[in-house]
Copies of this chain bind each other. A is one copy, B any other.
Amino acid sequence: MTTTIQDQLNLARKNQILEAATTVFAEKGFQRATIKDIAKVAGIADGTIYNYFQNKNAILFGLMDRLNETESRELQFQGTSDTTFSEFFSAYLKHRLEQFGTREIALLGIIISEVLVNAELRQQYQTRILEPTYAIAERAFQSMVDAGKLPAMDVPISVRIISATFLGLVIQRLFGDTTLEQRWDSLPDVLPQFLLEGLIHQERKSP
């Protein structure tokens, strides 16, 4: 497993294409983007792209993988920290929302859009991103339950609910909701507050 100069050049060119693809996809979406578009932005001939990616789908696979790498890196640092759940949750969201800049959010939108209607990509997305991400998150969650920081809850479902909240907010923002756009940066503070304090206060009063 030695990386030669060839491999490095190869990787650099691949990344160059992926960068260009990100730009073009963000502008036109996956299907409307053409190989020529991507080649033009990358400053290479369109045929060259096929020396590095088997087909158009493979370019999106490449982007998915890159997104996944940073995601799992970020997930891993969590989970063993010595905090309450609300602190963990707030920290997780803060981290996640901060790391997810405009470009990443736009790219996520492209991927979601295509995964929803492309069976081959969906298959890849499931095995390459969804399942590993769930697995890591479930492990982190479970360890907090084991450590007595969380009540014995339904870990798989809980993980899905939390990620659904994040995912849904990203999508609603991509839909162009101005309220979310304007107040995006305050979400890491507001969201746990809503979920924890908002609901708790109410529930404490009611019975």
Contacts and interface: CB of A to CB of B under 8 A. Distances in A.
B165 A28 contact: no
A195 B195 CA distance: 7
A160 interface: yes
Nearest to A178: B126
- Copy number of this protein in the oligomer? 2
B201 A151 contact: yes
Contacts of A32: 117
Given A194-B154, A194-B157, A116 B122 contact: no
A64 interface: no
Interface residues of A, number: 63
Interface in A173-207: 174-177, 179-180, 183, 187, 190-191, 194-203, 206
Contact of A28 (B117, B161, B169, B183): B117
A130 B177 contact: yes
